[in-house]
Structure 1
Amino acid sequence: MPSSSRDPSRPEGAFDVVLVGIAARGLAASARRAGLRALVLDLFADEDTRALASQVVQLRRRDSFALDPDDLLEQLDRHAGSAVPLVLGTGFEDAPELVAKLAARFRLVGSGADTLARLKDPGIFAGHLAALGIPHPRFFPGEAPEGVRALEKRVGGAGGGHIRRARRARGAGWYLQEFVDGRSVSALFLADGRRAHLLAFSQQWCAPSDTAPFRYGGCAGPIHAEAPLVHPLADALSRLAGAVGLKGLASADLILHDEGWHLIEVNPRPGATLDIFDAPPLPPLLRLHLDACAGDLPDLPLLVPGAGVEARAAGLFYAPAATVLRDALPDWAADRPAPGTRIAAGEPVCTVRAAGRDIAEARANLARRMDHLSRALNTASRAAAE
């Protein structure tokens, strides 16, 4: 059954914001930084999430890392109240019907079900991009034309674990997107339903496994973006925000290449780059999300590398084998499970964070910490087996 750190003496309405997602620790950290008392509901209730939030409710896990809609609605009815702003993180990309139910019963602050469907239905999304003249890969509902390289993706999929090279989609709920060579970059931005405002750019990379060659690995930023990208992209995202009613903090996944850029995907929610951008000189990103949803876009310059701007990197550390955590993880690890937690092979153990004077140093420090954690877990596993 779901567990809760609820204080029975705490009166209803004692929260400033309700945060929901598969893993909502990043949102909880942003809420703490903004001075907001947060009720958090996610699948893990990690130790650092409990330290950051006023209350944490662990939700029931379904189908690997999917939220159980019935349990979520039950726990929100029990703990949240309808007047407190509700902010959604990851886990709703393939569930516009659930988002519609949440909006009907609670004070949802962010993009609604219609916007989510327009952005996450690949055919509708490609149609919007084509109508707006925004460069994007071609979409194929069933089979790619001869000679066209393509990726198979799950409708509403997140995290990259569902993506593979293919010429034919496996059936309902899957589609093909033309493969575009280039460099993977993410743009963090805000939208108010009519306009968009760019905040920062980051680089992304994969952590491939035998069964998931495009599994999400991590991100680092801020990175420089040239004017030939920034101004057209800002205009494109504003036109897209107006067309689909996009609101709040969001990210755009791009491929940069010699001929320009392609927009691959838009995630209409706060995401993984909270770990690298929710820090000075930017204000708390959750506060910016709430303001943007109320129609107030900030007058902030684009965050770029330079004096006073620390480069940050964050990566997911995946368990190389089934393991049981015996000791507390280091302070530079986030999403920290409690000692004694069992983790299956290939599942994420934690997020590893690092910083540096530039992106290269931040990523080198991150790699050293990843290696340290790998060796420590391998040593612990061998000791447990003896």
Structure 2
Amino acid sequence: MQAPDAIPDDPKPQPNPGGEPSETTDSAAAAGKVILMGASVRSAAASARRGGLRIWGIDRFGDADTRELCEEFQQISGPHQIAAALRRAKTRWPDAAVVAAGDLITPPDVEVDHALGRETQPIRSRDLWAQLAAESGCRFPTTRSIADEANSPHQHQRQSIDHDRWLEKLMTGTGGLGVRWSDPNRKPQGGMTFQQQWVAGRTYGVTFIADGTEATLLGACRTITTSFGDLPFIYAGSLGPMPLQPLTQDRLRCLGQRLVKRTGYRGLFNTDVVLSGDQPPWLLEVNPRWSASMELVEHTLAPEPSDSSPATQPSLIRWHVRAQTERLDTWVRVPDPAHSSRRFKRIVYSLRKGKLCSQAIQQWCRRLNAEDQPIRCTDIPAQTDDIAIGQPIVTLTGPLTQSTIYRGLSRQVQSLVS
């Protein structure tokens, strides 16, 4: 296929031969401490707790259940505060591993980049993604600079013809917050830096873990999106893990393996792909961090061997820490997805502007979680606050066979906005 246009300021991949572990993560494995930072770290904190780790959380929401999981917690108002929060945490817990546990976009900062590991930066390269996709039997959507397109003498005519098949994307957009349909009658909004060809199919988040030389595919979950205003692809949840066709699975394994061989990356990472039947997968992006669907994948994993860990329950965050210093083939066990229990994760968004009473929503969640049924409520707000249309209220999770109950429960939650 045609190679995508180069993206301005896209970092060039630099190999990291051997995937050498950093001193921070090496000592953290023995210390049993982890600093989690992201927009919401609740699911990662639950994983770390299952793995017997002590947790320092840094996130924007400060939900009640997140605070309960963390030994120490700092709530921040935005990315501009992440460096100071991390500095404070590292002063108190200097031997803790630092894990990006969600889609909190951080401004360039030497301390943050160093704490997250030098391997993550090369992975955030669209040039690299295009190369790996081609080498793995996958595809990468054609991408073009908005600046180049705007300077084209036929710009209006071209976009009028194909704008419904192109997306405008933020270089640092996450969770669908930076993705819009391209519109020839609208001036690109600030920060919109490139256009990408829209491709048909179902989007999946594919979870991998790597040890610097080998990558293991742990599971793939189908992504659910919703729309608010001119944002048509807001992340709303996941289903899975789902079985993949053998050829698709082989291509994705090859993709993950080539990425790790090229970069020496260690730990968890996620690839967003679009699948359609037995056609080659479309690679959209690679995220070198904990991702939203990983808690569903974790639910299907077998317990770690008792002689390698004091934890009896599987914990992907613990696996991430262990992968900094250990080989995967000694302890990672991956179940057959065809025989795994599938689950759903759905974020309940507010459909109206109003006030959300923390006491009311906490009581509702406690009643639900106390009932003898498999659906659970998480990401529970800690304080009463104003809420806007499209803001998350809570998250519901449970067996996929019970997903039809979600609609009734979500209406109950949404009715609590007054």
**TM-score, scaled relative to structure 2:** 0.75
Code of the residue aligned with 1:340 in structure 2: it is T
Code of the residue aligned with 1:152 in structure 2: it is E
Q: Distance in 1 between matches of 2:227 and 2:191?
A: 25
* Residues 158/88 of structure 1: CA separation in 2 closer, same or farther (3 Å cut): same
Is 1:317 the counterpart of 2:348 in the alignment?
yes
Q: Distance in 2 between matches of 1:249 and 1:295?
A: 13
Where 1:176 maps in the other structure, the secondary structure is: strand
Where 1:234 maps in the other structure, the secondary structure is: helix
Map of 1:161 onto structure 2: 177
Per-residue deviation, residues 107-128 of structure 1 (Å, max 9, x unmatched): x4xx53x533x33344554355
Q: Distance in 2 between matches of 1:92 and 1:244?
A: 23
**Higher RCO (C-alpha under 8 Å, 6+ residues apart):** 2
Map of 1:350 onto structure 2: 394
- TM alignment of 1:331-346, pairs within 5 A: 331=369, 332-346=376-390
Q: Distance in 2 between matches of 1:213 and 1:28?
A: 29
Map of 1:89 onto structure 2: 101
Is 1:27 the counterpart of 2:44 in the alignment?
yes
TM-superposed CA distance for 1:335, in Å, is 1.2
* Residues 265/348 of structure 1: CA separation in 2 closer, same or farther (3 Å cut): same
Q: Distance in 1 between matches of 2:327 and 2:174?
A: 28
Q: Distance in 1 between matches of 2:51 and 2:126?
A: 35
* Residues 299/34 of structure 1: CA separation in 2 closer, same or farther (3 Å cut): closer
TM-superposed CA distance for 1:342, in Å, is 3.1
The structure in which a higher percent of residues are helix is 2
Tell me the matched-pair count: 347
Map of 2:59 onto structure 1: 42
Of 268, 279, 284, 2:315 maps to 284
Where 1:208 maps in the other structure, the secondary structure is: strand
Of 181, 206, 215, 1:196 maps to 215
Taking every aligned residue pair, what percent have the same amino acid on both sides?
26
Where 1:278 maps in the other structure, the secondary structure is: helix
Map of 1:177 onto structure 2: 196
- TM alignment of 1:176-255, pairs within 5 A: 176-255=195-274
Q: Larger deviation: 119-128 or 195-204?
A: 119-128
Code of the residue aligned with 2:379 in structure 1: it is D
Structure 2 gaps, min length 5: 1-29, 150-154, 303-313, 370-375
Matched-pair contact (CA < 8 Å) for 1:185–1:203: yes
Code of the residue aligned with 2:291 in structure 1: it is G
Of 262, 265, 270, 2:282 maps to 262
Map of 1:102 onto structure 2: 112
Per-residue deviation, residues 57-79 of structure 1 (Å, max 9, x unmatched): 222x13xxx35244324432453
Map of 1:364 onto structure 2: 404
- TM alignment of 1:95-174, pairs within 5 A: 95=107, 97-98=108-109, 100-102=110-112, 104=114, 106=115, 108=116, 111-112=117-118, 115-116=120-121, 118-123=122-127, 125-127=129-131, 129-130=133-134, 134-142=138-146, 143=149, 148=162, 149-166=165-182, 170=189, 174=193
* Residues 317/75 of structure 1: CA separation in 2 closer, same or farther (3 Å cut): farther
Q: Larger deviation: 271-280 or 214-223?
A: 271-280
Q: Distance in 1 between matches of 2:336 and 2:63?
A: 30
* Residues 242/173 of structure 1: CA separation in 2 closer, same or farther (3 Å cut): farther
Q: How much is the aligned-residue C-alpha RMSD, in angstroms?
A: 2.7
Matched-pair contact (CA < 8 Å) for 1:30–1:284: yes
TM-superposed CA distance for 1:315, in Å, is 1.4
Q: Distance in 2 between matches of 1:130 and 1:281?
A: 31
Matched-pair contact (CA < 8 Å) for 1:255–1:263: yes
Q: Distance in 1 between matches of 2:73 and 2:34?
A: 12
TM-superposed CA distance for 1:280, in Å, is 4.8
Q: Distance in 2 between matches of 1:32 and 1:312?
A: 20
* Residues 157/295 of structure 1: CA separation in 2 closer, same or farther (3 Å cut): farther
Where 1:317 maps in the other structure, the secondary structure is: strand
Q: Distance in 1 between matches of 2:54 and 2:388?
A: 33
Where 2:224 maps in the other structure, the secondary structure is: strand
Q: Distance in 1 between matches of 2:249 and 2:256?
A: 10
